[in-house]
Structure 1
Amino acid sequence: MPNLRADGVPRPTLARVAAETDVSVSTVSKVLNGRAGVSSATRERVEKALREHGYSRRNQVQPSARFIELVFSRIDNSWALEMIIGAEKVARESGMSVLLTESGDRHSPGPEWVSGVLARQPAGVILMFSDLSREDRRMLRTRDIPFVVIDPAGDPPPDVASVGTANWSGGFMATRHLIELGHTEIAIITGPDDMLCSTARLSGYRAAMDAAGLSVPAGFVVSGDFHHEDGLERGGELLDRARRPTAIFAGSDLQALGVYEAARERGVGIPDELSVVGFDDIRPAAWAGPPLTTVRAQLTEMAETAARLVLRMRREATPERIELATRMVVRSSTAAPPAGG
């Protein structure tokens, strides 16, 4: 039986498409199957010819997509666990499972990831923090694999779906909470300087300090990488200063727990001598000694929202940009500054 297009007309061969576009048959096959190794200009030319001849991935026999792929730069902390729990809940409700991938860095997955995901054919992809190159986005769309970025590292283009949290207002609320307790010597440990969520939290901190008429002392803004070791090292540096802060706003709960350790090593009591605020509200925050005051970023809900969005994009390709609200969770790690502090 001849290979027919949807309108019943015999489909031209790949060799004919190759001849029309002045490329090899293997190049046409790469474009049709969404593989790498083709320049953007050539890919656009071949895709146009394929569309004109009625070719599309939807016309091909594909394996049933029964899983959502979550991509992390590292899967080694409670933040990642919250994301997995949220995505797994939605996948389970849809009769699917979750595949975890560790690849690349906070900016983008590694170069080997794209070819792998095209071969795996997931129902959708959720990327943590990362951005994707234009070519990577093109290849995923060629294979009709929707993707969503959670808390993107930069400002994604309008055609990239994303789910984030209200980082600026969270930074503002955390700092204002400390100011309302009477603190004026407030330091901050941020995340990476090139991540949007980190710079937004820092901007919220500065706005709260400005609104209260407070200056930020030199050396009271230090950067880390959102991990426990950053809180330990940067917190220690702040506590070793001659002018020591009475409060530290950490850019993540993991950093805040590192500050706890730095304070213990120096015999500094929390909250009697030092108030600490985190960001995220991971589960260990409530178990810390003392329980950590933090900004709740709805991590599990972010992953649930991203999973529902990526599945909805399988039916309708319109990307959305969603931002979830933050709120203060006041526990026992904050108090009025010590007398004379």
Structure 2
Amino acid sequence: MAAVARAAGVSVATVSKVVNGRSDVAPETRARVQELLHRHDYVTPVVRRAESAPSTIEVQFAGDIRPYVAEALGGIVDAAAEAGIALVVSQPGSGARAARGVVSAGRRALVAVTSVYTPAYLDALTQAGLPLVVLDPLHLPHSDVNSVGSTNFAGGFAATQHLLRLGHRRIAYLGGPADAGANQARVHGYRAAMEAEKAPVRGEYVRPGEFTYQSGVRGAGALLDLATPPTAVFAGNDEIALGIIETARGRGLRVPENLSVVGFDDTLLARMASPPLTTVRQPLREMGGVALRTALRLADGEKLESHHVELATELVVRASTAPL
């Protein structure tokens, strides 16, 4: 504000009046100050409007509303209703201008679902003092950004251990993007379980991809084309798992008689699959609720015990896995 005041040739008090919408400023002066505020990417700190800001949380995510996103949003909506908070859903922005838009709209906080933010956008939100919580981030943000996730490593270990206990040794992992933090943790859990049982991890059995059904179809085709195909596949999420099952079915293979498949997330897809999918339950609705309540705590000025919270995963055994 001092820099804007010097550039405009006015006092800091005058700049403050413009920022706070006071009427006792000449129109020409107001226009000059507003132009300089814009040029300096000035964002009004949320705390200055805390008393007048409406009780609204903004939720941002990119892409389609897939079953995974729907589950997480359901938890956010439930927690918001319980707290009497309104929600606004939008696409993630980038840079200071997008941050200004969120702040000027009077949001109490921002919850991002798996979204990847640019450093400029994160810096702008931080400068504005807007509380931000990232739910199940694809990439863990830097240490001062609050996030809520799940025990991906433990989930990957449990899924692979389940297949090993069924007698499988040729176990593949078909996952999401190689650089995604959640995918890395799941594949590390897979490797740890294999190594603990001294089962070989073949390089061609570990394939990154996307967290989509189509990626499961493509990846399963490549695995089943190998000279020595796997007898079981641990998929990075439920959509990938369904793609694997459909590919196996198209080749005359039966699940689980000829190929065992384990997913990850336990979305509605897992319960509706044929056969019903053995999967690692990621408590998405609970994670959404924790993210919303964490954002409210930050908006109220509370100090958190940790910047990152992980909820426990759980293996849910259904009909897509069987002994070798």
Identify the residue that residue 240 of structure 1 maps to in structure 2.
225
Map 1:85-100; keep pairs closer than 5 Å. Answer: 85-100=74-89
Shift of 1:286: 1.1
Deviations 1:155-203 (A, max 9, x none): 3222211101101111111001000000000011111011111111011
Identify the residue that residue 23 of structure 2 maps to in structure 1.
none
- Higher helix content, 1 or 2: 2
State how far apart, in whole Å, the 2-side matches of 1:289 and 1:102 are. 34
Instruction: Name the SS for the 1:285 alignment partner.
Output: helix
Identify the residue that residue 7 of structure 1 maps to in structure 2.
none
Structure 1 residues 237 and 287: CA distance shift in structure 2, 3 A = same
Identify the residue that residue 224 of structure 1 maps to in structure 2.
209
State how far apart, in whole Å, the 2-side matches of 1:176 and 1:113 are. 45
AA partner of residue 319 (structure 2): S
Identify the residue that residue 12 of structure 1 maps to in structure 2.
13
State how far apart, in whole Å, the 2-side matches of 1:192 and 1:203 are. 14
Identify the residue that residue 151 of structure 1 maps to in structure 2.
136
State how far apart, in whole Å, the 1-side matches of 2:49 and 2:151 are. 42
Which sits farther off after the overlay, 185-194 or 129-138? Answer: 129-138
State how far apart, in whole Å, the 2-side matches of 1:88 and 1:12 are. 41
TM-score calculated relative to the size of structure 2? 0.84
AA partner of residue 80 (structure 1): V
Map 1:60-99; keep pairs closer than 5 Å. Answer: 60=49, 64-99=53-88
Shift of 1:317: 5.1
Contact 2:239–2:269 (Cα < 8 Å) also in 1? no
1:207 counterpart (172, 189, 192): 192
Is structure 2 residue 263 aligned with structure 1 residue 278?
A: yes
TM-score calculated relative to the size of structure 1? 0.80
Shift of 1:298: 0.3
Instruction: Name the SS for the 2:286 alignment partner.
Output: helix
Contact 2:46–2:103 (Cα < 8 Å) also in 1? no
1:305 counterpart (273, 290, 293): 290
Contact 2:94–2:118 (Cα < 8 Å) also in 1? no
Contact 2:231–2:259 (Cα < 8 Å) also in 1? yes
Identity across the alignment (%) = 37
State how far apart, in whole Å, the 2-side matches of 1:304 and 1:27 are. 40
Q: Which 5+ residue runs of structure 1 have no aligned equivalent?
A: 1-9, 18-23, 31-36, 48-54, 104-108
Is structure 2 residue 309 aligned with structure 1 residue 322?
A: yes
Query: Where do 4+ consecutive residues of structure 1 move more than 4 Å?
Result: 60-63, 109-113
Identify the residue that residue 179 of structure 1 maps to in structure 2.
164
Identify the residue that residue 34 of structure 1 maps to in structure 2.
none
Which sits farther off after the overlay, 161-170 or 314-323? Answer: 314-323
Identify the residue that residue 126 of structure 1 maps to in structure 2.
111
Shift of 1:326: 0.8
AA partner of residue 40 (structure 2): V
Aligned-CA RMSD value: 2.6
Shift of 1:285: 0.5
State how far apart, in whole Å, the 2-side matches of 1:186 and 1:58 are. 53
Instruction: Name the SS for the 1:322 alignment partner.
Output: strand
Is structure 2 residue 173 aligned with structure 1 residue 191?
A: no
State how far apart, in whole Å, the 2-side matches of 1:97 and 1:61 are. 16
Contact 1:121–1:145 (Cα < 8 Å) also in 2? no
Instruction: Name the SS for the 1:219 alignment partner.
Output: helix
Structure 1 residues 238 and 27: CA distance shift in structure 2, 3 A = same
Structure 1 residues 116 and 182: CA distance shift in structure 2, 3 A = same
State how far apart, in whole Å, the 1-side matches of 2:215 and 2:319 are. 22
State how far apart, in whole Å, the 2-side matches of 1:68 and 1:60 are. 15
Structure 1 residues 329 and 16: CA distance shift in structure 2, 3 A = closer
